[in-house]
Each structure stands twice: as C-alpha cells, then as structure tokens.
Structure 1
Amino acid sequence: MVGQRAQHRPFGLPLLIHLCLLHLGASGKLPATPRPPMEEAASVQGVRGGSVELACGSGPAPLVVLWSFTPLGSVVPRPVAVTDGASTKVEPGASALGIVSLQNSSLLLRELRESARGHFLCQALHVFGDQLHTTYSYLTLAVLVPVSKPKVRLSDPSPVEGDSVVVTCAVREGTEPVTFAWQHQAPQGLGEVLVGVKEPLLWLDPVNRTHLGWYVCSAYNVVNGLSSDGVFLDVVYGPDKPVITVEPLGLTAEGFWVSEKEEVTLSCLAASNPPSHYVWLCDDTQVHTGPTYVISSASRAHTGLYTCLARNSYLDTRTQTSVQLTIYYPPVGQPSCAVLPSSAAVTLLCTWPGGLPTAQLQWEGPHGTGPTAPSNATWTSSVTRLSNGSVFTCTGKHPALALPALCRATLWEPPHSPTCRITATVGDQLILLSCAWPGGMPPAMLSWVDEQGQPLGGNSSSLAIHMLQAQEDLAGREFTCQGSHLLRIPDVQCRLQLEPPQLTVAKTQVLVLEGGAAWLECALQGGMPPAQLLWLGPQGQQVERSTSEFVLHLEGAQLRLQIQGADPARHSGTYQCVARNAVGNSSQSVVLEVLSEGCVYPAPPNVTISRLTYRRHWREVQLQWAVQGPGNLTGFLVQQRASVSGPGAGAWETAASDIEPDSRDWQLGGLDPGVLYAFRILALNHHTTGHPSEVKTPVDPPFSIYPAVLGAAGTGMVVATVASLLVFQYAARHPQVFPRIETPTTTPSSDPAPESTDVPVNVTITVTATP
C-alpha cells in the first residue's frame, strides 16, 4: 500500500481538490449525492462545548479524504475539510461547527456548537490495484446541551396560612427530556425530599406552617444535573393560644406554686410567624414584656393571676392565657415539742403554726405513731414500759421545704435531787424559801411542807417558792421541799433550817507600815438565810462605799476591806465585820496597828566623798566615797546641782540611783564643761535615807597632757624635746610633787571616753620646773 500511494503521489492535493471541486459546480456546494442503499448512517453524540471525533470508515489509508456536512432540514452538503495525507484544507465556513481539524482521516470537532447537528459524509479515494475506488461514510451527529441552573420563583413569598402558593422551577436551556426534583428544608431542621413531585410546578394548596422553609429545585437531563439556589417561603400564621410553663414546677388544683425566696421563671410560648410580642400581666397590672418573666426572689406579694398576652404584629392578631401562681412559705422556725405531765400517762404537744399551706405534724414514739394533724398535734401515751431516755419525734412536713423539720422530746428524769435555798427581801422583811429541781422531761413537780407535814401552797414544776414573814421565832425551824417525777420512784426531798449567820476572819490582828495598804478579811461560814456583810470602823461608823482611803471587795461570801495610805492616827484601832440576816446577826473584831517606817528600817550610816575629779574634756567626773560606821544599806543616791554660792543655789537633782550597796565609786557623764557642778551622796536603807554627805565640786586630775598642749599652743614657746625629758626625770625623782597619774575606773553603766581620731600635730613643749 505504501508503494501504491507513492505511485499516485504526483497527482498532488491541488489536482485532487480540483477534481473534488468539479462536483461543487458554480454554486460552490457539493451536488446532492444519493446514499448507497447498502450503508446505514451511524449516530454519534457530542456535548456542546465539548469534543467529538468522527471516524472515516476503516481499512487502508485513503489517498484523499473529503468531509462534507448537511445541516438538519437541508439536502445540500457543504464541504468541511479535505486532506491527501500530506496537507490539509479546512473550509472557512466550517468554523460554525466549532474548531475543526483533521487527524489522519478522522474529523475532530472541538468546542462543539449546536449548529453541528446534522449529517456528515466522508468520501475517501482508495487505490486498489491499478484502479481508483471511492468509499462513503455517513454519520449523524446529535449535539446535546447541558441543563442550565434552575431558578425557583414563588407566587407569594409571604403567604398567610391557608392561602394557595405555586412554586415554579425554570431552566433556560437543556436537551430534552428534563426531569425535576424538589427539596424542602425547615429553618431549623433537616432537608426533606418531596417524593413524587417531578414537575417544574409545585402546588401548595392550602399552604400551612409546615411548608415554611427553603425550597430547592434540581433539574436533570442526559448530560448533567444542577440545583437551584434556595428560595425561602415565609408562611405567616398565629399567634396560637399561649402555653405557660413555670419553673420550678409545682402543681396545685388552681395552678402553680413555688417556694418563698426561690427564683421563679414564667415562660410563655405562642407559635407565630413573625414571632409573637409578649406582655405579662399580674392581676390586670402589666409587670413585664417579653416571653420570659423571672422573679429573682419570690415573696408572698407575688401571689396572683398571671396572664400572658401574645400579639402577631403582621396580622395584628392576639391571644392570651392565664395561670394562678401561689407562693408557698413554711412556718417560722421549727416545730416546738412539749411534754405535759400527768399521773399515769404522758401528753405530747407539737405545735408549728403559720405557713401556707399549714404544715402537717405527726408524733412517733417507741411503741407506735400518733395521728397526723395540721399546725397542732397532741398525743397521749401511757408511761407503762417507758424507760428513762425514751424519745418521741414530731415530724413536720411542708411542700416548701426539701426536708421535713423535726423536734424531739426525750423523757428523762431530772438529775440529782431538789436544791433548797433561802433568800431575804430588801430590809429582811420577807424570807423566800426556794426549791429547784431543774432538768427532766417532763419537769418535776415540787411543793413545800412544814415540820408537821402541812402543805405550804400548791404544786409547781421545776421551781417552788414559799414566802415567810421575817421574825425572830423562825430561828431553828425546818421546812421540807418534796419533789416527784413520773420516772422517779419514790419521791425525793430537801430540807432547810433557818439559822443566824456565822462569821470568820482571816486575821484578828493586822500590822501595816505607815503609808502602806492594809487588808482586813471576813467570810460567812454558814447560817440561813444568806446574810448581809458590812465593816464598821474604829469609831463604829459603817464603811458603806469605796473611797480614797477605804475600798470594799465583795467576792461571794467574802468581804475584804482595803485601807490605803495607812496613818497611825486615823486608821489604827478595832474594826468590826458584821453579818445580818432575817433571823439574827453576828460579828467579829480585827485590830489594825499602823507602824512608823523608822521602826522597821533604821537610818543607814553617813557617807563622805573621798575623791571627785574631772575626766577628759570636763564632761565626766569620777566619784569615790567612804561609809562612816556600820548600818543597813540597800544602795546609794548621788545628787547634783550647779555650784552657786549663796541662797540662789538650784534644787538638788538625782544624777544616779540604784547603785549597789557594795559600790564605792561611780562615773557620771553628760556634764556641761561651761558649768561648775556640786555633788553630794546619800546612803539608802529601803525607803530610809541617811544624812547627805558634804558638798564638793570636782577638781582637775593631778596631771593632764591636754593643758600642757593648749598652754604650749597659746604661748608659742618652742623648746627642744630634751626639756620634756628633764621634766619627766624630775617628776620621777620627786613623786610628792608630781603624784602618779591614775586611770579612772569605768563603771559598767558608763562608756569609756572615745579616743581622738584627729591627725597628729607636731608640737614642741617647753616646761620650766622648779626643784
């Protein structure tokens, strides 16, 4: 075949095209050529905008291929393209079909257009042997158009519930047949496919609130399928009758209840589109706007009829619902339990008044339960088989309380036995006999009887008091208090005997130093009824209240008298402690002796100053002294003043005190160098001082380098160091002229004088000494 094609190559494309064009005639169109009856046209499908390849038969490669196109509804073919294998020619008018090209003998159409619908004819020139043969291929091309994006339209986007609405789905183009599908999505729900609706029209008749939401239409053909954007159908309806809910939930026959001080939430919901506007009324008074009304802390004043008004502003329609709200509150405090005694039974009383509604009370004991009663429950139980410690419980229940309230009554006998005491009234005119036996449940019963067993007054619980007129013939009489309790067998009692008071004193004689404080003490030892204690002074006067001299201290049955600043002339003498009660009195004497201080602490020995010298800078002095003779010593006292001759001398001031009795020297500091001081010293024996020593003023120490330096600086005399050596040599040979220089003693309380830190100065000292 290659050889055959080479033999005929000289014909060339121009000649072949020319031969083919001879068939076109003067109009430039191919003459209509009848299709051989033996061949059927093949059907090919292409999509608009896509690509399609049309094959030209099969077999060996032809010498020349000519493609022509006959549009639908026409019988005249139009040339499209021709090729001889080496070169290709595409008719310019073929661009109406798309982008046309030849690939071997096949016709390739890209970016296919709808105008390419029609019949294509491929004429191929073949060489068989030495003869030329023409073959024909017939193809029918169908150009399919994708479906366009659907658009949804509503006949009424906001219909009122009950109206009729038509929803239309339209596509601009697309090869038939086109099928449709609908999807409905609620505003807050999942999508719902409307099964069975495949038409472009969706009838909603009548429309209701369930139709509210987004509608999406999908269109499909053999090429593709697309969905529209969602279109919202807003169905207007309502408001329905409001529904009121209350939290926390408590139901009554009339409505709802909540506990006092609880947070209460009233919610109102009325289905409506657009949403309802809400107004809350309490007993025909507006209290809130909005769907939820919150009472942060419910009080009894919040009880009432609450009405929720719902309004649809679009339709201007209204509905309402009312509920009764009751605020429950429990009774105040806790239930109160009491036990009332009787001869053979015990009566239990439980009360808990108030509250809304009233609390329900019920008794429960060791052997069963009592009846239930509101506010007040009384139960009588036999004491048989009841032991000490038996417990009865009253349970109070109220709907406003999460837990029941309880009170308990425990039967127990009072401990020990009755206690008797006597009390006198003001002026000892009346005597009160008191008998107490506290504790126990129920309380014990008490009564008084005299020596003959005759009752004095009636019975009373826990405390029995009998009153007697005070008189002397009551002394020695005895009275008995009898006590009984249903759990105590047999009865118990206590006795009282009226007696005059009995006294005792701590000391019958008290010694005190002059100026000191004396204590006189007396106390009751017995006697009934209790007595009144008082002190009488040496002149028989009563010490009625505390003064600067006398202070009274009452501690229980003890009365103490404190005498301050004791004076021998005024306070020495015999004191009487007197006790009085309604049936008699008694007294005790105490002798107070005030001693002078000199009798106790004799005067200490006298003191003389043995040495008084200045120290450095004349700001300190060193003091030494001696004691004249033996005597009791407890310390020393140093006094100072400015040394001024005559009566104008200042008062003596204490310069040092609390000096140990063994000390014989002392160092004083803080002096003014410009003042000449005088000093004296006194010996102490506790509060007694000896005679002052002689008055002395301090003198300079025997030798000091500072005056020499200052004198040398003042005179400006400069002498060689040898002269200084001569002076020291002379001083060593004549000690009676130059006494030795002593280092002053420093007491623990004084600090040594600080050494100078100045830079040394070269000074030449000239000293003239006379042998």
Structure 2
Amino acid sequence: MPTAAQLTITPIPAQPLEGDNVTLAVQGLATEGIISFNWFRGGSTEFDQQILTYRVLSGGMSLGPAHTGRETVSPDGSLHIAAINLKDIGPYTIREIMTDINYPAQNIYLAVFERLAPPAIMPSTSAPLELQDSVTLSCQSPSLDATFQWYIDKEPVAGGERLELSPDQRNLTIHQVSRADTGPYQCEAKNPAITSLSEPLLLNVIYGPDVPTVTTSDISFILGFNLTLSCSTSSNPPAQYSWKIDGDPGPDGQQLFLSAIHLGTAGIYTCEASNPVSGTRSAINTLIVIPEYMPQPSILADNVTPVEGMDSVTLMCVSAKQSATIRWFKDSSLLPNTGPGDLSPDNSVLTFWNITRNDTGLYQCEASNSATSSLSTHLPVNVNYGPDTPVINSMDSTFEVGSNLTLSCFANSNPPAEYTWMVDGSPWAAGQILSILDVSLNSSGLYSCHAANEDTGYQSTTQLEVSIKGRGLFLSSLSHYLTH
C-alpha cells in the first residue's frame, strides 16, 4: 500500500499571482485501501480547518467549515482554488483515510504574490539648481512586500556617495545634482513572480548660463561692410541676452547687427546672458578693431607679349599701402616663393628672366594686412613662341597614279604659324593642307612645308620626298630646318 512519504503536492502555477486559479496537484494518492481524503487549510487536521472531504468509492464530496466556495477537488486528490488572494497564503494539508485505520497526511505551503501595479516616481523638487540642490526620488507603490531597483538611462543603479539609496531602496537621493543627472530615471517593483516598471522621469535641472561665446559673420572687419555678432551659451531654461557697447546699454537679443561699419564702430562689445529661473548671469567682452580699408592694388608690366627664349618680363604690384604684404597668383593659384619667377625681397616685383611658354597665364597680386586684403584685376601675359619643327602627315595610306594626294603640316606656335608649300624648290601653295588631284608619276618630288611666326620672327621648314609609283606611294622625310 502506498505510504505518506510517496505523496507529493505541486502548486500550478508555481508562483501564482492574485486572481489566478491554482491547482495543488497531488501525485502518489493511494489506489487501494483508501476510503476518502480530506483537505485542510493549515498545517493540522483539526475539523474547523477542514475544507472538504472526498469519498473515493461513491465520488461524493462534503464541505467543511474552512470551505470558501472557491475550492473544488479532483478524484486524483488535486485541490483547485479559484481566484486566489493574499488571504489564501499558508499551509494546506491532505489526509488519506485508509481501511487499516492509517491516516497518512502531507502538506504544502502555498505562496501567493501581489499583482504589482506600475510604480510612480515622485521627485522632492521639480526644478533643482545645479550644484546647489539635492533631489530625492521616491518610488511610489502600494505593495508592502515588493523589492525595488532603480535605473538611470536603463542602467541599474548600485548606489554610492553621490547616488544614495535608502535601506529599502524605495528612495534614490542625488546629491549636488548636475546637468548630467537629467536621466531618464525608472524604478522597478518586483517580487519572485512579477516585475513592474515605472514610466521614465526626466529631471529638469536648472543650470547656466555658462560663459558665453561670441562669433561673427566674417573673420575680418572691413569698412563699409555689415557685421553680425552672435552670442550663445549653455543654459536651462534658455538664456536671455543683452548687449553693452563700451559699457553703455545696447539692444537685447542673441544677435547684434552692425550695418556699414566705420572707424567709430571699434570698441568693446559685451554680451551678457542671464537665466530667468536661477537668476545667475554671465558675460564676455569682444574687442572689435576696424582696420583701414585696403585699396585694390594694380600690376605694371614692362612686356605682356614676350618672345620665348629672347625676352624677360617684370611684373610690379603697386599698392597704396607700403606696409601691405604682397602675394602673387597665376590662374587663381598661389605662386610659391620658389616658383619659376624671381621675387624681390618685399615680394612686390616678380621677374621672369628667361620666359617660356609655360609662363603664359592670368596674373594677380594681393595686398593684405592682419585683418583685410584686396586682389588686383587679372593681367594676361601671353608668351609668343615657335614655330617648332613642323610635322607633315599624309591623310591617306596609299596613293596610286590617278588618285588624290593630301598632305597636312602642323607646328606648335603662338600665335598660330602661317604655312607655305614648295615642290622641288618652287612655290606651290599656301595653307596648312596641300591637296593634289589626279596624281601622275610626274607628281614625285621634294615637298617642303614652311611655317613662319611674324611675331617671333622665327621660321621652320620640313621636307618630304614623295615618290609616285604605279601601285602605291613611297613617303620619306628627308630633312627639316629652323631659320630666323
């Protein structure tokens, strides 16, 4: 016959919450020699604690004094309790009534846990002042048995000197609160069966204004130009701004607009930021110095159409301010001090002693001081050169008696070269391209291309021997020469 030691009771669910339906599942109930079994609310088998009795043979059930109307039983001995509450916490005992007058019993302790509502966070102050106030956050929960955990930006709080937790961890105190302590904060109420998290709370820490920063719309202050000063600082709530000019009250606002500045605009401009809640103020001074206007410089040149290999060129930057710093630009790119030209000690004169075609370009000079600068207009330098040795090209690959012969001639030159052709020393045609229709064997001969540049005075010639044959054309360059 089964013994009491073989009887086991298991609660389902294992950690029930208020309002759950619970089964105290029984295993090992005797199958032979059992007459009935009783359930008791408590650890003893006193009659006044009896919930019910189940008669195994007939399947009948009788209710005891401790029955609440929510308890039922299964033939396997399991007790079902509907809608449990915290008053149902405690031991429960099952007793078997055997034919041999043996009454084995087994009990279990039923734990019921609160169904926790989300807690709420209550701050001791809604607007703490940075580095002055301490703030205590209280985790409000109706539960008396829950434990608590705090989180800052979803990270658990361990507690320490500045972040202090109360012994029951319901309260979190932040000493000397700073702007970095904004949060968000959450508190968690929990028991072994359930956890419940509060809504996030952000602290509205009052801070600032920090020392303001003043920026300008332009790094240079030029006579006649407009100027805007912008003031900014870190502050909560946002700071209010006012200006002073040389100590005298100026306009309010974050920006100060100065139109058509002049020498009288120079002075000390003070931006003052104030926090309307904390009552604190912070200010910064900005010194504005208006430099004299830098007139536009000009460039003088002794030759703007030099000849390569023959001429030198001198460019002079003329500025109304003798103390100005001079820089040179070619095609909008800054010329290095060790460039192709030589610079005078004060950089005002740029000299090309042996000018080349690579020095062709648009030149500018810049005059500047520590605050402003001015750029000259472009001066074109156009270097004349060439013609280089001409090259004769045939536009067709083969020639036969009766076909057309076309030759072209090209030579690098500025300005472009003028071309003339000679055949066997006799003038033939002018132009870059020579065309002969319906060639014959008599078209063979020495063809010369002559390129000339009137501006440089240079000339250059290339000769090509053309031999017409019955089935093709033989081209052979014999010589070229350059004359001046």
Q: How does 1:182-331 map to 2 (within 5 A)?
A: 182-185=150-153, 192-196=155-159, 199-248=169-218, 250=219, 257-258=220-221, 266-284=229-247, 288-293=251-256, 299-300=261-262, 304-326=267-289, 331=294
In 2, Cα distance between the equivalents of 1:400 and 1:236? 43
1:158 corresponds, among 127, 130, 138, to 127
Q: Which of the pair has the greater relative contact order for Cα pairs under 8 Å at 6+ separation? A: 2
Give per-residue Cα distances to partners, 1:374-404, cap 9 Å, x unaligned.
Answer: xxx478x89x9799xx989662244756977
| Secondary structure of the structure 1 residue equivalent to 2:234 | coil
| Secondary structure of the structure 1 residue equivalent to 2:87 | helix
In 1, Cα distance between the equivalents of 2:94 and 2:143? 32
Distance 1:203 1:397, change over 3 A: same
In 2, Cα distance between the equivalents of 1:386 and 1:60? 122
Aligned to 1:60: 31
Deviation of the 1:193 alpha carbon: 4.0
Identical columns (%): 22
Asked whether the equivalents of residues 9 and 108 of structure 2 are also in contact (C-alpha less than 8 Å), the reply is yes
Deviation of the 1:338 alpha carbon: 5.7
Asked whether the equivalents of residues 47 and 65 of structure 2 are also in contact (C-alpha less than 8 Å), the reply is no
Distance 1:347 1:156, change over 3 A: closer
Aligned to 2:72: 101
In 2, Cα distance between the equivalents of 1:275 and 1:41? 69
Deviation of the 1:408 alpha carbon: 6.2
Aligned to 2:416: none
Deviation of the 1:102 alpha carbon: 1.4
2:344 corresponds, among 350, 358, 370, to 370
Asked whether the equivalents of residues 235 and 273 of structure 1 are also in contact (C-alpha less than 8 Å), the reply is yes
Distance 1:391 1:172, change over 3 A: closer
Give per-residue Cα distances to partners, 1:475-510, cap 9 Å, x unaligned.
Answer: xxxxxxxxxxxxxxxxxxxxxxxxxxxxxxxxxxxx
Asked whether the equivalents of residues 224 and 262 of structure 2 are also in contact (C-alpha less than 8 Å), the reply is no
Aligned to 2:50: 79
Asked whether the equivalents of residues 43 and 142 of structure 1 are also in contact (C-alpha less than 8 Å), the reply is no
In 2, Cα distance between the equivalents of 1:293 and 1:238? 22
Asked whether the equivalents of residues 41 and 140 of structure 1 are also in contact (C-alpha less than 8 Å), the reply is no
Query: 2:112 matched to 1:138?
Result: no
Give the aligned residue type for 2:91. Answer: H
Asked whether the equivalents of residues 282 and 305 of structure 1 are also in contact (C-alpha less than 8 Å), the reply is yes
Deviation of the 1:228 alpha carbon: 1.6
- Gap runs ≥5 in structure 1: 2-35, 186-190, 251-256, 413-771
Aligned to 2:326: 360
In 2, Cα distance between the equivalents of 1:99 and 1:194? 43
Asked whether the equivalents of residues 330 and 354 of structure 1 are also in contact (C-alpha less than 8 Å), the reply is no
Aligned to 1:396: 366
Give the aligned residue type for 2:157. Answer: L
Query: 2:152 matched to 1:180?
Result: no
Query: 2:13 matched to 1:50?
Result: no
Asked whether the equivalents of residues 47 and 146 of structure 1 are also in contact (C-alpha less than 8 Å), the reply is yes
Deviation of the 1:219 alpha carbon: 2.3
Bigger helix fraction: 1
Asked whether the equivalents of residues 270 and 283 of structure 2 are also in contact (C-alpha less than 8 Å), the reply is yes
Aligned to 1:88: 61
1:111 corresponds, among 83, 98, 106, to 83
Distance 1:58 1:385, change over 3 A: closer
Deviation of the 1:277 alpha carbon: 0.5
Deviation of the 1:311 alpha carbon: 0.7
Asked whether the equivalents of residues 154 and 168 of structure 1 are also in contact (C-alpha less than 8 Å), the reply is yes
Deviation of the 1:351 alpha carbon: 1.8
- Gap runs ≥5 in structure 2: 304-311, 330-334, 385-484
Aligned to 1:593: none
Aligned to 1:70: 42
| Secondary structure of the structure 1 residue equivalent to 2:287 | strand
C-alpha RMSD of matched pairs (Å): 4.8
- Using the size of structure 2 for normalisation, the TM-score is 0.57
Give per-residue Cα distances to partners, 1:621-653, cap 9 Å, x unaligned.
Answer: xxxxxxxxxxxxxxxxxxxxxxxxxxxxxxxxx
Deviation of the 1:214 alpha carbon: 3.3
Q: How does 1:319-358 map to 2 (within 5 A)?
A: 319-326=282-289, 331-337=294-300, 339=302, 349-353=316-320, 358=324
Deviation of the 1:195 alpha carbon: 3.8
In 1, Cα distance between the equivalents of 2:49 and 2:374? 100
Deviation of the 1:337 alpha carbon: 1.8
Distance 1:212 1:348, change over 3 A: closer
Deviation of the 1:37 alpha carbon: 10
| Secondary structure of the structure 2 residue equivalent to 1:115 | helix
In 2, Cα distance between the equivalents of 1:391 and 1:215? 71
Give the aligned residue type for 1:360. Answer: I
Distance 1:149 1:71, change over 3 A: farther
Give per-residue Cα distances to partners, 1:708-738, cap 9 Å, x unaligned.
Answer: xxxxxxxxxxxxxxxxxxxxxxxxxxxxxxx
Deviation of the 1:243 alpha carbon: 1.9
- Using the size of structure 1 for normalisation, the TM-score is 0.38
Deviation of the 1:71 alpha carbon: 7.7
| Secondary structure of the structure 2 residue equivalent to 1:219 | strand
2:139 corresponds, among 148, 163, 169, to 169
Q: How does 1:611-622 map to 2 (within 5 A)?
A: none
Deviation of the 1:41 alpha carbon: 9.2
Distance 1:51 1:372, change over 3 A: same
Asked whether the equivalents of residues 41 and 66 of structure 2 are also in contact (C-alpha less than 8 Å), the reply is no
Aligned residues: 349
Aligned to 1:495: none
In 1, Cα distance between the equivalents of 2:23 and 2:313? 117
| Secondary structure of the structure 2 residue equivalent to 1:124 | strand
In 1, Cα distance between the equivalents of 2:81 and 2:291? 89
Deviation of the 1:103 alpha carbon: 2.0
Distance 1:103 1:271, change over 3 A: same
In 2, Cα distance between the equivalents of 1:119 and 1:367? 106
Give the aligned residue type for 1:103. Answer: S
| Secondary structure of the structure 2 residue equivalent to 1:210 | helix
Distance 1:144 1:361, change over 3 A: closer
Give per-residue Cα distances to partners, 1:343-371, cap 9 Å, x unaligned.
Answer: xx99865323269x945366999762223
| Secondary structure of the structure 1 residue equivalent to 2:67 | helix
Larger radius of gyration: 1
| Secondary structure of the structure 2 residue equivalent to 1:139 | strand
Asked whether the equivalents of residues 123 and 137 of structure 2 are also in contact (C-alpha less than 8 Å), the reply is yes
Deviation of the 1:260 alpha carbon: 6.9
Deviation of the 1:99 alpha carbon: 2.4
In 1, Cα distance between the equivalents of 2:383 and 2:112? 110
Deviation of the 1:109 alpha carbon: 0.9
Give per-residue Cα distances to partners, 1:653-676, cap 9 Å, x unaligned.
Answer: xxxxxxxxxxxxxxxxxxxxxxxx
Give per-residue Cα distances to partners, 1:98-132, cap 9 Å, x unaligned.
Answer: 721112221101211111122322233345xxx66
Give per-residue Cα distances to partners, 1:732-764, cap 9 Å, x unaligned.
Answer: xxxxxxxxxxxxxxxxxxxxxxxxxxxxxxxxx
| Secondary structure of the structure 1 residue equivalent to 2:59 | coil
